[in-house]
Amino acid sequence: MTSAPRIPRAGRIIAADWGEVRIGVALSDETQLLASPLTTLVRRPGKRFPMQRFLDLVATHHPVGIVVGLPLTGEGDEGDSAIAARELGDAMARRTGLPLYLQDERMSSARALGAIREQGGSTRGRREEVDALAAAILLQQFLDRRRNE
């Protein structure tokens, strides 16, 4: 995985939770204490990742780094999804010039679903909100781990 120390310790960080159809996006605050869901980017069938929309988000929010979820298998191995997420992260870093960190994202979507259910909410018809929340959970894990290092 790419080294986290390359990402500055002040300024916003943008995160992407990779999915074949939907990519959840989250953003940290300037102090890197809290992560919040931002949006969900949707890839149309047969189309590539909506990079221009991501670049617009970067231009609007001026992050200092990118965290991309790496969907490892239960055993910690990289399958096709992890390879695709790694390629996406590399493309994001190349296009933005920002440092990249690949974060193990096993269970981020399950945690997002659990958080919504815990609060008595329904996930029915809320896929995009769940994906953005999963990205926020992924980013919060990165921020918490990094702060405790």
Q: Which residue has the tokens 């390629």?
A: 87
Give 46-49 contacts, CB < 8 A, sequence gap 24+: 49/23, 49/88, 49/91
**Six-digit token pair at 122?**
């329904």
Show me where the domains of the chain are located: 4-147
pLDDT of 126 > 70? The answer is: no
pLDDT of 125 > 60? The answer is: no
CA atoms of 109 and 134, how far apart (whole Å): 5
Among the four given CATH numbers 3.40.50.720, 3.30.420.140, 3.30.450.40, 3.40.50.300, the one describing domain 4-147: 3.30.420.140
Task: Output the pLDDT for position 123.
Answer: 47
Three-state DSSP class for residue 55? helix
Task: Output the pLDDT for position 114.
Answer: 52
* pLDDT single digits (tens) 3-58: 455 899 999 999 999 888 899 999 999 999 999 999 999 988 878 889 999 999 99
- Please say whether the beta carbons of 96 and 55 come within 8 A: yes
Beta-carbon-side half-sphere exposure of residue 64 (alpha carbons within 13 Å): 14
- Please say whether the beta carbons of 15 and 135 come within 8 A: yes
* pLDDT single digits (tens) 90-119: 999 999 999 999 998 865 555 554 555 555
